[in-house]
Amino acid sequence: MNLHPSPEIRHAAWNIWQNPIFRRYCQSRLRPRGIGITLIIVLLLAGFITAITSSFGLRGTLTASDTARIGAIVLLVFQCLILFILGTAQVAGGMTAERDEGVIDYQRLIPMSPLAKVVGYLFGLPVREYVLFLATLPFTAWSLWKGGVSHTVWLPLYGTLVSSTLLYHFTGLLTGTVAKNRRWAFLASIGLVFCLYTVIPRLADFGLVFFKYLTIAPVFSESLPGMLPATAGAVVSAKQQLLPTAKFFNLDFSEVVFTLFSQGGLILTFIVMLCRKWRRTESHLLGKAWAAGFFIWIQLLLLGNALPLINPGTLFPSRGFTRMTGILPDWAPKPGEAVLMSGLYGLASLLLMLILTSMITPTTDTQLRGWRRARKLEKSSLPTLGDASTSFWMMLAMALAGAAGWFVFSRALVESHWFPGHQLGHKAAIGFTLLMLAIGTAYQSLLESKGGRAITLAAIFIGVVPLMIGAVLSVISNNLISTAYWVCGLSPATMPFYASGTLLPISDLPESAQATIPNAFHFWLVLTLLLAISLLSRLWSTRKKISLQIPTT
Amino acid sequence: MSHTPPAIDIRSLRVDYGNFVAVDDLTLSVPPGEVFGLVGPNGAGKTSTFRVLTTLMEPTYGEVLLAGIDVLEDVENARRIIGYMPDLAPVPYDLKVAEFLEFHAAAYGIGNKAARRDRVAECLEEVALTDQRDKWCKELSRGQTQRVVLAKTLLHRPRVLILDEPASGLDPLARRDLRNALRRLAANGATVFVSSHILSELAEMCTSLCVMNRGKLLASGTAEQVRQILGSTERTITATLLNRHEEARAWLASQPAVHDPVADAPTVTFRFLGDDNAQADLMEGLFHLGIRIRSFEEKRSSFEDILVEVAESNRA
């Protein structure tokens, strides 16, 4: 056997048809025996949908064109199920199966770039679902043609369908890469897609408008008038004209462009995460600079989408409610509603900051490895943006950015024409900043010095248990409500709401809470700050000890 | 004068899992063209060492160079020269043998379709599985699976082969074939680093080996050197004498390398810790005393005894 090494061949990431991982899955997932029955079922269902909707046109009041349009909408839902649910589950489950079986180590060793591997898995694992989707397209094409739907309607819609599919499949791929077992990966990915269509869009109803652009829904709504039967479409179109939707700092993007822009940013971030994991299993999901940049980008998206909707009033949840009940003319937002929205913004920023901090905080092992490498390269310190260096500085940057975003949002609410005569001063800015810094520092220092277990225990006993105790106390007796407010105030989940309730001049707290909530907020904030300082000093000494464990060469 | 770097050069390697030290200060050098064995009981640190060597795991500290390539700094190039066969080598259940191998051949950039097919056939022949090429991977026996993965490992003609327990699950015939295959690879310039928890198995197939236990390197060298380093030069000698048994026992008891001599006519049995020269001197001494020796038999500890002894002494 001769031992000449194989010639060096790079598999270009863009050349999907030559990607060995993609071809491997085409081979295994497109065998006639495997795909045959599923394909027949999908063709039957698509054919049935087309036939039954067309049949209504033959005897009912609707025209053939109208019924074909209805068929196209139902087919779209069917296609979404195939791609979003089945495809995502397949990607997440397939990736975890590779790890469960152990064959992923072979793939780690093959000389392909991380991006080529990601692309191979992204399109390879759900290749059967792509074929099933393609099989339904002739029926869609017929329905669109028969319904006379303009390409300016269906093209953006299907463009967003593709980008949403990619986004969800990337979510599945990441879940599969990170989750420890197959069942969890499957459930987590389905759960994520479910949340994307149920929970997350609801956040848009409470001021966090950006989240709705992670779904196909805005483009679907925009395209709906052109897809519905002519009369219904006209009604929907007229209704939409009544609802001014300013988008992203009034730059007036179309829904498609903005959805693609928002999803594209997330897809790019997922690609970075996956490539890092393929390059080194031990790598953090995100680099420090990317995590901080991502946080700031999300802040911009949240603000850019929310601010232009404050003065027209469309940002307020009660506006949506009154729109449905038809009592629009007398509508005005209540101060409490604005305070809650400000608190929710603070909570969302805080949560995102903590999640990103978790991703970039090094474990003791990572720090030891970092020091080993630094010693080898004869460096006296760790690289600032390396995985092994502390995440404190990036947490600090995110805390400041988060506090700034929160303040800008709250000020826009308070100083809007809905609440004349009110201004939000520097006290609120300082309060928001201290809160973000205190919780962020305590979390980061505890995580970096004591590890994930300590954080989980802290989340249970500081984050959740006070809320449970507070809820029980408030139910026992009205006399205990004040105590309940105090106990609940300990949880970082309530602190942003307490902060907004205390610091926003429009706040109209109930009588029982008027004295308690500001006192509780200030007390717990000071205590959290002291705890954060103490944990930070411990973190510094822990890091010092770790650095001394690796001898200088 | 050109200097060929060692095929495998491990310096002060340490692998921690939290507070558990899996590999502790391992330093090792393997020249090119060797079949080098790594032996140790379960939990010795063999698999962790292999995962670092194959770039699948980053060590806590230490350096690893394969043919002069730093595996921690130049991962991509290191991966090109590595062929890795993990312990309990897995195979995908949704592919046939030939499909599995052709996929890897393509991933390693082996020529066109025809060239890949030829190379796959060559490797299947190497592991004597040509007749199984159209079988589903999931239908293979344990031994066949091991051989298919070995074939996959050989596809890209790696310069350093890292095989974790490759002989487990193989029948004696397949073990012999494996031994021959590894020797052929080494003869062609590849370096084979192979692990097992069965020392005798490695002693048969390796040109040199090392013993690890609890993350530490205990001995390294040829099988004989390892035996000596581990303090197992001790042998039990049974001398069959034609006269003066008790006198011989008393004289032997006075010799420094002799322990526990027992006379049981016509034999005297004792434990001896000296080298071959000392043993020859011993025979000469008995001869000068006028003792007539009919035979002189020695029995050494087996490799398995040595390993059990090592594992137990560390446990104690």
The residues of chain B that CATH labels 3.30.70.2470 are: 235-300
pLDDT score of A294: 94
Give the contacts of A201 (CB within 8 A, at least 6 positions apart): A211, A212, A215, A217
Tell me which residue of B170, B175, B171, B153 sits closest to B162, measured CA to CA: B153
- Residue A384 — very low, low, confident or very high, per pLDDT cuts 50/70/90? confident
Element of type H or E holding A409? helix A392-414
Contact with chain B for residue A456, Cβ under 8 A:
no
* Chain A: closest CA distance from residue B206 (Å): 19
Point out the residue among B60, B93, B110 whose CB comes nearest to the CB of A369: B60
* C-alpha–C-alpha distance, residues A207 and A253, integer Å: 19
Beta carbons of A282 and B54 less than 8 Å apart: no
Give A176-189 pLDDT, tens digit per residue: 888 776 677 777 77
Pairing of strands B8-17, B20-30: antiparallel
**What is the interface size between A and B, counted as CB pairs within 8 Å?**
115
The residues of chain B that CATH labels 3.40.50.300 are: 8-229
pLDDT score of A519: 93
> What number of other Cβ atoms are within 10 A of residue A205's Cβ?
16
Q: How many residues does chain B have?
A: 316
- Residue B105 — very low, low, confident or very high, per pLDDT cuts 50/70/90? very high
pLDDT score of B304: 67
Residue in A closest to B158 by C-alpha: A5
Higher per-residue pLDDT: A99 or A446: A446
pLDDT score of A140: 95
Average pLDDT over residues B194-198: 82
> What number of other Cβ atoms are within 10 A of residue A176's Cβ?
28
Point out the residue among A20, A365, A373 whose CB comes nearest to the CB of B106: A20
At residue B32, what are phi and psi to the nearest 5 degrees? -60, 150
pLDDT score of A245: 53
Contact with chain B for residue A281, Cβ under 8 A:
yes
* Chain A: closest CA distance from residue B78 (Å): 9
Give which of B25, B61, B74, B116 to mutate to test A binding, by max A Cβ within 10 Å: B61
8 Å CB contact between A466 and A541 = no
Beta carbons of A111 and B57 less than 8 Å apart: no
Q: Tell me the one-letter amino acid at A115.
A: L
SS3 content of chain A, % helix, strand, coil (to 5): 75, 0, 25
User: Is the confidence at residue B282, as pLDDT, over 70?
Assistant: yes
Give which of A106, A279, A377, A549 to mutate to test B binding, by max B Cβ within 10 Å: A106
pLDDT score of A246: 43
Point out the residue among B90, B154, B157 whose CB comes nearest to the CB of A5: B157
Higher per-residue pLDDT: A122 or B232: A122
Provide, as residue numbers in chain B, all residues whose Cβ is less than 8 Å from the Cβ of A105.
54, 56, 84, 86
* Cα separation values, A192 from A201, A260, A286, B37, Å: 12, 19, 20, 48
Give A334-382 pLDDT, tens digit per residue: 888 899 999 999 999 999 999 999 999 999 888 888 888 888 788 888 8
User: Is the confidence at residue B15, as pLDDT, over 60?
Assistant: yes
User: Is the confidence at residue A71, as pLDDT, over 50?
Assistant: yes
Provide, as residue numbers in chain A, all residues whose Cβ is less than 8 Å from the Cβ of B103.
20, 23-24, 27
pLDDT score of A371: 86
Buried b (16+ CB within 10 A) or exposed e, A248-279: beeeebebbebbbebbeebbebbbbbbbbbbb
Average pLDDT over residues A142-158: 89
Average pLDDT over residues B286-315: 75
Tell me yes or no: is domain B235-300 CATH 3.40.605.10: no
pLDDT score of A240: 60
CATH superfamily assigned to domain B8-229:
P-loop containing nucleotide triphosphate hydrolases (3.40.50.300)
User: Is the confidence at residue A6, as pLDDT, over 60?
Assistant: no
Beta carbons of A106 and B63 less than 8 Å apart: no
At residue B59, what are phi and psi to the nearest 5 degrees? -75, 165
CA-based radius of gyration for chain B: 24
- Reported as half-sphere exposure (CB side, CA atoms, 13 A), residue A359 has a value of 24
- Residue B196 — very low, low, confident or very high, per pLDDT cuts 50/70/90? confident
Highest mean pLDDT among A123-137, A151-165, A239-253, B82-96: A123-137
Give the contacts of A100 (CB within 8 A, at least 6 positions apart): A181, A182
> Residues of chain A with pLDDT > 90: what percent?
48
Mean pLDDT check: name the lowest of B93-102, B139-148, B303-312. B303-312
Three-class SS state of A310: coil
pLDDT score of B74: 87
User: Average per-residue pLDDT in chain B?
Assistant: 85
Average pLDDT over residues B141-164: 90
Higher per-residue pLDDT: A330 or B68: B68
At residue A252, what are phi and psi to the nearest 5 degrees? 55, 50
Beta carbons of B57 and A281 less than 8 Å apart: yes
* Chain B: closest CA distance from residue A411 (Å): 47
Report the helix count and the strand count for chain A, using DSSP H and E: 25, 0
8 Å CB contact between B12 and B27 = yes
User: Is the confidence at residue A424, as pLDDT, over 60?
Assistant: yes
Three-class SS state of B84: strand
pLDDT score of B227: 74
Tell me which residue of A455, A440, A448, A445 sits closest to A536, measured CA to CA: A445
Provide, as residue numbers in chain A, all residues whose Cβ is less than 8 Å from the Cβ of B66.
none
Beta carbons of B157 and A281 less than 8 Å apart: no
- Residue A326 — very low, low, confident or very high, per pLDDT cuts 50/70/90? low
* C-alpha–C-alpha distance, residues B262 and A162, integer Å: 88
* C-alpha–C-alpha distance, residues A313 and A307, integer Å: 10
Provide, as residue numbers in chain A, all residues whose Cβ is less than 8 Å from the Cβ of B92.
28, 101, 103
Point out the residue among B80, B84, B126 whose CB comes nearest to the CB of A111: B80
> Dmax over Cα atoms in chain A, in whole Å?
88
Contact with chain B for residue A538, Cβ under 8 A:
no
Beta carbons of A5 and B59 less than 8 Å apart: no
* Chain A: closest CA distance from residue B116 (Å): 11
Tell me which residue of B239, B232, B241, B230 sits closest to B270, measured CA to CA: B239
Mean pLDDT check: name the lowest of A109-113, A481-485, A508-512, B71-75. A508-512
* C-alpha–C-alpha distance, residues B157 and B190, integer Å: 8
pLDDT score of A249: 79
Q: Tell me the one-letter amino acid at A42.
A: V
Local structure of residue A209 (DSSP, 8 states) = G
- Residue A551 — very low, low, confident or very high, per pLDDT cuts 50/70/90? low
User: Average per-residue pLDDT in chain A?
Assistant: 87
Give B28-76 pLDDT, tens digit per residue: 999 998 899 998 888 889 999 999 999 999 888 888 999 999 998 888 8
8 Å CB contact between A22 and A120 = yes
* C-alpha–C-alpha distance, residues A161 and B62, integer Å: 49
Residue in A closest to B95 by C-alpha: A28
Higher per-residue pLDDT: A528 or B147: A528
Report the helix count and the strand count for chain B, using DSSP H and E: 11, 14
- Reported as half-sphere exposure (CB side, CA atoms, 13 A), residue B313 has a value of 10
* Chain B: closest CA distance from residue A98 (Å): 8
* Chain A: closest CA distance from residue B162 (Å): 12
* Chain A: closest CA distance from residue B211 (Å): 26
Provide, as residue numbers in chain B, all residues whose Cβ is less than 8 Å from the Cβ of A4.
157
- Residue A9 — very low, low, confident or very high, per pLDDT cuts 50/70/90? low
pTM above the 0.80 mark? yes
Structure tokens at A125: 């694992």
Tell me which residue of A192, A195, A309 sits closest to A245, measured CA to CA: A309
Beta carbons of B75 and A376 less than 8 Å apart: no
From the number of C-beta atoms within 10 Å of its C-beta (0-12, 13-18, 19+), residue B254 rates as exposed
Average pLDDT over residues A53-82: 86
Give A243-294 pLDDT, tens digit per residue: 445 467 777 777 888 888 888 999 999 999 999 999 888 899 999 999 999 9
Q: Can you name the residues that pair with B191 across neighbouring β-strands?
A: B160
8 Å CB contact between A182 and A100 = yes
User: Is the confidence at residue B314, as pLDDT, over 70?
Assistant: no
Three-class SS state of B10: strand
* C-alpha–C-alpha distance, residues B185 and B181, integer Å: 6
Contact with chain B for residue A24, Cβ under 8 A:
yes
Beta carbons of B55 and A24 less than 8 Å apart: no
Provide, as residue numbers in chain B, all residues whose Cβ is less than 8 Å from the Cβ of A108.
55-56
Instruction: Give the sheet arrangement for strand B293-300, strand by strand.
Output: B258-264, B267-272, B235-241, B293-300
